[in-house]
Amino acid sequence: MFDVAVIGGGVVGCAVAQRFAVGGATTVLLERGSDILSGASKGNSGLLHTGFDAPEGSLELRCMRSGYAEYLALRKELNLPLIETGALVVAWTEADLLKLPGIVATAHRNGISDVHQINARDLSVREPRLSKRALGAVVVPGEHVIDPWSSPLAYAERAHAHGAQIRRQCEVTGGTFTGDRWELETTDQLVIARVVINCAGNYADLVEGINRQPSFAIRPRKGQLVVFDKAAHDLCTAIILPVPTAKSKGVLLARTAYGNLLIGPTAEEQEARNIATTDEAALRALIEFGRSVIPDLEGCFVTAAFAGLRPATQFKDYQIHAQPHRRWITVAGIRSTGLTASLGIAQYVAGLYVENFAPLGDAVAETQTAVPNLAEVNPRPYQQVGHGEIVCHCELVTAGEIEAALTRPLPARDLGGLRRRTRCMMGRCQGFYCQWRVMQLASPYFAENPVRPHAT
Amino acid sequence: MPHDVIIVGAGPAGLAAACRLHRSGITDVVVLDREQWPGGVPRHCGHRTFGIREFGRPLTGPQYAERMIRRAQSVDIRTGVSVTKLQPDGHVTITSQQGVEQIAARRVLLTTGARETPRAPRMVSGTRPSGVLTTGSLQQMVYLAGMRPFDRPVIIGSELVAFSALLTLRHAGIKALAIIEPGSRITARRPCDLVARWLLGIPVLTGARLVAIHGARQVEAVEIEQTGKRETIACDGIVFSGQFVPEAALIQTSHLELDRGTGGPVIDQCWRCSDPTYFAAGNLLHPIETAGVAYREGAAAGASIAASLRGALRLPDRRVRIHVVSPMRYIYPQVIANSAPPPNGLMFNARVEREVRGRLTVRFDDEAVWSRHIHALPERRVRVPAAGLAVTQEGHWEVRLDPG
Ligand SMILES: Cc1cc2nc3c(=O)[nH]c(=O)nc-3n(C[C@H](O)[C@H](O)[C@H](O)COP(=O)(O)OP(=O)(O)OC[C@H]3O[C@@H](n4cnc5c(N)ncnc54)[C@H](O)[C@@H]3O)c2cc1C
Ligand SMILES: Cc1cc2nc3c(=O)[nH]c(=O)nc-3n(C[C@H](O)[C@H](O)[C@H](O)COP(=O)(O)OP(=O)(O)OC[C@H]3O[C@@H](n4cnc5c(N)ncnc54)[C@H](O)[C@@H]3O)c2cc1C
């Protein structure tokens, strides 16, 4: 029997599981996919937000602030990068310009006091490649870029190092509450836990149904993104944000930790919870928009295009509550800021747990918890003496890195998982040069071997 | 001490250049390749479509690569070395088992080849399942690793390489369901389609556009649009063939001038880049030519480098630009250096964006100085002879194609 069963291995579930394992609770993380990050957390923009524009007094703002602080405190131990880009909220119209003082005021009320406005001239000094149509901007020095794949992986491995079990391909299909514990039916074996934490992302309302009539409904909101090749990386320094409208935060341009430039995301409501398709027209519109912001993007090559689904609900704020009598904690509606807020959410959830169920202490890590670095700002194996064979030339991924990703405590078990752990095949050629070699090294480790030998 | 020459890429172009340099008495030549074996793309093309011109008989890619390497026996070829940055004056950054190092040469030749456009930059709608490859990765999986990635794929595009994909699939015992080509005719020369249709029994669907990919984990179907009608073809794989782009990442992040049209470096008639210590040849210059052409270009560039090391190739004080306008897609050499007379038989090589019948004209300061009626097809060579044109003369040179 476990103290805690966390349902869902997205960034939120990984951070929560890690918090409980570190707190000494016996913890199990249950994920339906063949790997963690099978849902919303698989594809996002990779930004560490300050919360400068979050709704005042919201739980979201609170979790973002504490999540941000904990990321900075924890990242060295876990070997996670921080690319200190800052952000610029750029005014493109006179109407936008009128809104900038309000943005600064909100930021200050939210406790981010270094946010300030600059004029068009200072903006063009900071970002010389930005379209000259820009009329001014708000500077948010604390908005940064992080590695969206390594962070949750590091949290999950940290959970593991503190004794948590991570079960993949383990979908929770039902459950019975016996008064002092939950018996969860899964596609694997029965899981018994004293407390259940629902972090099921786009399925959170369905999972909530195991416990009660859900008080919210998930309304997946798709975001499509285009990633430009490394030659575009230097076209801007800061994250370029638009002035938000009532409906959406709008499309941004940002560097990635992997040395690319990204444009997106879109915001499109849809029914399906697990299928995020890309759409030619939307991708072309993103590129068009990108060129209107940075004209020199013309002629830059696209490396990747992808889509993710934000687990939104009818409510603006996060839906996080404990039901003491049912020994259940709901963590839902972590729509568009979960990468930033996850560690803060975990703190908040741990607070609810201590308040309602049991105390938490401090466990000692059993193994080392640092993850391999994927970011360009920090040293990578290809630079070292005796680094061995470089397999992926676009992203300079070595055979050693691939080997490690396949044999670490939470190993990759499919190509997607391997790509997220190493960046292999994520570059401009998308496997033209290296896929055969990657598959040769990795397929013996994969559960579902996607390639079989041919006869000749 | 800088080397005489560093060659980046041990494909047909790089190896041919190295051989030519050796024959000219320049032996301090280092050929670098990031793969574990030299030979370039031919290493993984298993069919007999190489070598007629260079070795006088049809060879498979691996046989061809082996012959080239044998010819380059005395050359210092270093594999497992990735060039990561090009700097002015022949300084290049490499990474190898020794870690990151700077090395330098009096001349650097870039022969990094070309690759196919994968799915993402083609902006195809739909899900992103596995089972989506380019011909290049398919060939390596089949010929180098003996893998069978799928059973019933479709092939997108009908350049020559699409038929190369068909042969590769056949070798693995896989039958493609169809070749899907958006144009009204195949891009490769006939009778490729007839061979596909009658010999291999594979339908070639022209005027068919891929509109979406379906499938959660593995490809389950493609949706195509043909004469306004949508159709779904159940399949388990997709080969994106062709739409080659130069492997020019090094150029994009360097000081060297890049040509938007070709996607490769700008060169003059002596294969020199905008920094005259750098030269370029082979498919890096142009999507795309056969290995034979890359080989010949490499040899010519080698000869030019030898001349420049002997001091027989002066630096230009002017470079005259040759402009092209739509529907011309690109032309190269893009510039003519005034310091060297254009070699006898110099040809400009060009491509068009789409099928056009019309008059191909060379204009100098708005005056037509040469013209010819042509029927141009995409991915087919369009040649403009430089003979008789005073191309070193300063002014506005333009090559255009007016339909009609
Ligand atoms: C395009 C886009 C860009 C974004 N950019 C940013 C950004 O820059 N910065 C930022 O902070 N945030 C960003 N976000 C938001 C962030 O990605 C999300 O808030 C976060 O991923 C939500 O995580 P989650 O763990 O709640 O959900 P998920 O990642 O969806 O995790 C839920 C998991 O539960 C599993 N699951 C579901 N049902 C079951 C079951 N019955 N049994 C077992 N497992 C189950 C799922 O498979 C899934 O893995 C972005 C989001 C999108 C879509
Ligand atoms: C799938 C496919 C099928 C083809 N089929 C045929 C055919 O049947 N017949 C035919 O005649 N032609 C064919 N071609 C075209 C032919 O392969 C090429 O024309 C020829 O290989 C081009 O030679 P190259 O020397 O320019 O480049 P490549 O052969 O591509 O060689 C470039 C070399 O540079 C190396 N390199 C690149 N970047 C770096 C770096 N940064 N550092 C170190 N090394 C680097 C690469 O590893 C590679 O070895 C085919 C091409 C493809 C892609």
Q: Spell out the per-residue pLDDT of chain B, length 404, in tens.
A: 899 999 999 999 999 999 999 999 999 999 999 999 999 999 999 989 999 888 889 999 999 999 999 999 999 999 999 999 999 999 999 999 999 999 999 999 999 999 999 999 999 999 999 999 999 999 999 999 999 999 999 999 999 999 999 999 999 999 999 999 999 989 988 888 888 887 778 999 999 999 999 999 999 999 999 999 999 999 999 999 999 999 999 999 999 999 999 999 999 999 999 999 999 999 999 999 999 999 999 999 999 999 999 999 999 888 999 999 999 999 999 999 988 777 888 899 999 999 999 999 999 998 999 999 999 999 999 999 988 788 888 899 999 999 98
Q: Is B121 on the interface with A (CB under 8 A)?
A: yes
Looking at the complex, report in whole angstroms how far the Cα of residue A315 sits from the nearest Cα belonging to chain B: 28
Last residue of a domain, one of A308, A329, A345: A308
Q: Is A132 on the interface with B (CB under 8 A)?
A: no
Closest ligand to residue A171's CA: 1
Please give the Cα distance from B29 to B74 (Å, whole number). Answer: 10
Answer whether B324's CB lies under 8 Å from B350's CB: yes
Please give the Cα distance from A403 to A398 (Å, whole number). Answer: 9
B40 C-alpha to ligand 2 centroid (Å): 5
Instruction: Give rounded-to-5 percent helix, strand, coil for chain B.
Output: 25, 35, 40
In ligand 2, the atom with minimum distance to the C-alpha of B136 is 1
Question: Phi and psi at residue B217, in whole multiples of 5°?
Answer: -90, -55
Examine residue A452 and state whether it is found in any structural domain, yes or no: no
pLDDT over threshold 70, residue A450: no
A266 in the same domain as A129: yes
Looking at the complex, report in whole angstroms how far the Cα of residue A392 sits from the nearest Cα belonging to chain B: 10
A26 in the same domain as A163: yes
Examine residue A337 and state whether it is found in any structural domain, yes or no: yes
A33 in the same domain as A97: no
The pLDDT tens digits of the residues spanning A62-118 come to 999 999 999 999 999 999 999 999 999 999 999 999 999 999 999 999 999 999 999
Does the beta carbon of A12 lie inside 6 Å of ligand 1? Answer: yes
The per-residue pLDDT for B338 is 86
The pLDDT tens digits of the residues spanning A222-267 come to 999 999 999 999 999 999 999 998 777 899 999 999 999 999 999 9
Question: Which among B118, B174, B216 has CB closest to A429?
Answer: B118
- Which secondary-structure segment (H or E) carries A253? strand A252-255
pLDDT over threshold 70, residue A330: yes
A178 in the same domain as A296: no
Q: Which residues of B touch A415 (CB under 8 A)?
A: 130
Looking at the complex, report in whole angstroms how far the Cα of residue A379 sits from the nearest Cα belonging to chain B: 11
Question: Which residue(s) pair with B83 in the sheet?
Answer: B94
Closest ligand to residue B77's CA: 2
Question: Which among A279, A301, A440 has CB closest to B121?
Answer: A301
Which residue carries 């398709």 as its tokens? Answer: A277
A104 C-alpha to ligand 1 centroid (Å): 29
* Neighbour tally for B309: CB within 10 Å: 18
Where does the pLDDT of residue A166 fall: very low under 50, low under 70, confident under 90, or very high at 90 and above? very high
Question: Which residue(s) pair with B233 in the sheet?
Answer: B222
Please give the Cα distance from A406 to A414 (Å, whole number). Answer: 9
Task: Supply the DSSP string of B349-387, one letter for each residue.
Answer: EEEESS-EEEEEEEEETTEEEEEEEEEE-TTS-EEEE-T
A343 C-alpha to ligand 1 centroid (Å): 14
Residue B145 to residue A393, Cβ atoms within 8 A: no
* Neighbour tally for B278: CB within 10 Å: 27
A113 in the same domain as A39: no
**Residue in A339, A342, A349 to alter for ligand 1 test, most ligand atoms within 8 A of Cβ:** A339
CATH number at residue A425: 1.10.10
The per-residue pLDDT for A398 is 98
Closest ligand to residue A254's CA: 1
Question: Which among B34, B95, B120 has CB closest to A304?
Answer: B120
ipTM above 0.85, yes or no: yes
Examine residue A374 and state whether it is found in any structural domain, yes or no: no
**Residue in A382, A389, A390, A393 to alter for ligand 2 test, most ligand atoms within 8 A of Cβ:** A393
The per-residue pLDDT for B321 is 95
A134 in the same domain as A245: yes
A185 in the same domain as A167: yes
Question: Which among A231, A277, A436 has CB closest to B144?
Answer: A436
Answer whether A29's CB lies under 8 Å from A169's CB: no
Which residues, other chains included, contact A288 with Cβ-Cβ below 8 Å and sequence gap of 6+? none
Searching chain B, which residue's CA lies closest to the CA of residue A456?
Answer: B172
Residue B216 to residue A275, Cβ atoms within 8 A: yes
Please give the Cα distance from B315 to B393 (Å, whole number). Answer: 16
Examine residue A159 and state whether it is found in any structural domain, yes or no: yes
Q: Which residues of B touch A283 (CB under 8 A)?
A: 123
Does the beta carbon of A11 lie inside 6 Å of ligand 1? Answer: yes
Last residue of a domain, one of A273, A308, A343: A308
Q: Is A447 on the interface with B (CB under 8 A)?
A: no
**What proportion of chain A, given as a percentage, has pLDDT over 70?**
98
Interface test mutation site (partner A, options B140, B174, B288, max chain A beta carbons within 10 A): B140
Which residues, other chains included, contact B310 with Cβ-Cβ below 8 Å and sequence gap of 6+? none
pLDDT over threshold 90, residue A292: yes
Examine residue A366 and state whether it is found in any structural domain, yes or no: no
Please give the Cα distance from B12 to B105 (Å, whole number). Answer: 21
Question: Phi and psi at residue A105, in whole multiples of 5°?
Answer: -65, -45
Question: Which among A279, A384, A433 has CB closest to B99?
Answer: A384
Question: Which among B100, B216, B253 has CB closest to A230?
Answer: B253
Closest CA to B45 of B67, B19, B70, B63: B63
The per-residue pLDDT for B390 is 83
**Residue in A11, A34, A218 to alter for ligand 1 test, most ligand atoms within 8 A of Cβ:** A11
The per-residue pLDDT for B197 is 82
Question: Which among A278, A382, A430 has CB closest to B118?
Answer: A430
Looking at the complex, report in whole angstroms how far the Cα of residue A10 sits from the nearest Cα belonging to chain B: 19
Residue B125 to residue A435, Cβ atoms within 8 A: no
Looking at the complex, report in whole angstroms how far the Cα of residue B141 sits from the nearest Cα belonging to chain A: 5
Please give the Cα distance from A259 to A247 (Å, whole number). Answer: 31
Last residue of a domain, one of A308, A338, A373: A308
Looking at the complex, report in whole angstroms how far the Cα of residue B94 sits from the nearest Cα belonging to chain A: 9
pLDDT over threshold 90, residue A368: no
Q: Where are the beta strands (DSSP E) in B69-138?
A: 76-79, 82-87, 91-96, 99-110, 114-116, 125-126, 132-134
For helices A11-22 and A150-161, the axis angle rounded to 10 degrees is 30
CATH number at residue A264: 3.30.9.10
A164 in the same domain as A240: no
Residue A431 to residue B141, Cβ atoms within 8 A: no
- Which secondary-structure segment (H or E) carries B323? strand B319-324
The token pair that represents B115 in the structure block: 């690759």
Report the phi/psi class of residue A364: left, alpha or beta, with left for phi > 0 and alpha for psi in -120 to 50.
beta
Which residue range forms the structural domain that includes residue A397? 381-446
Does the beta carbon of A346 lie inside 6 Å of ligand 1? Answer: no
Q: Is B369 on the interface with A (CB under 8 A)?
A: no
| CA-proximal residue: ligand 2, atom 37 (nearest) | B112
The pLDDT tens digits of the residues spanning A268-290 come to 999 999 999 999 999 999 999 99
Q: Which residues of A touch B82 (CB under 8 A)?
A: 382, 390, 393, 396
Q: Could you tell me how many CB contacts below 8 A there are between chain A and chain B? A: 138
The per-residue pLDDT for B387 is 81
Question: Which residue(s) pair with A79 in the sheet?
Answer: none
Which residue carries 């010929």 as its tokens? Answer: B143
Task: Supply the DSSP string of A398-456, one letter for each residue.
Answer: EHHHHHHHHHSSS---SHHHHHHHH-TT-STTTTTTTHHHHHHHHGGG-SS---EE---
Residue A396 to residue B146, Cβ atoms within 8 A: no
Question: Which residue(s) pair with B218 in the sheet?
Answer: B130
pLDDT over threshold 70, residue A456: no
In ligand 2, the atom with minimum distance to the C-alpha of B14 is 25
**Rounded alpha-carbon distances, angstroms, from residue A64 to A151, A330, A342:** 15, 18, 8
Examine residue A361 and state whether it is found in any structural domain, yes or no: no
Examine residue A66 and state whether it is found in any structural domain, yes or no: no
The per-residue pLDDT for B61 is 96
Please give the Cα distance from A106 to A311 (Å, whole number). Answer: 25
* Neighbour tally for A272: CB within 10 Å: 11
CATH number at residue A161: 3.50.50.60
Q: Is B124 on the interface with A (CB under 8 A)?
A: yes
**What proportion of chain A, given as a percentage, has pLDDT over 90?**
94
Examine residue A363 and state whether it is found in any structural domain, yes or no: no
The token pair that represents A59 in the structure block: 């739980």
Q: Is B57 on the interface with A (CB under 8 A)?
A: no
A430 in the same domain as A387: yes
Residue A284 to residue B218, Cβ atoms within 8 A: no
A439 in the same domain as A429: yes
Give the total number of structural domains in chain A.
Answer: 3
**Residue in B6, B53, B112 to alter for ligand 2 test, most ligand atoms within 8 A of Cβ:** B112
The per-residue pLDDT for A260 is 97
Answer whether A68's CB lies under 8 Å from A54's CB: no
A139 in the same domain as A223: yes
Answer whether B291's CB lies under 8 Å from B41's CB: yes
Answer whether B180's CB lies under 8 Å from B237's CB: no
Ligand 2 site, CB within 6 A: B 8-14, 32-35, 40-42, 45, 49-50, 82-83, 111-113, 135-136, 139, 161, 164, 247, 250, 282-284, 289-292, 294
Residue B115: Cβ-neighbour burial (10 angstroms; 0-12, 13-18, 19+): buried
Q: Is B147 on the interface with A (CB under 8 A)?
A: yes
A102 in the same domain as A92: yes
Does the beta carbon of A44 lie inside 6 Å of ligand 1? Answer: yes
Closest ligand to residue B245's CA: 2
Please give the Cα distance from B126 to A279 (Å, whole number). Answer: 6
Higher local confidence (pLDDT), A16 or B339:
A16
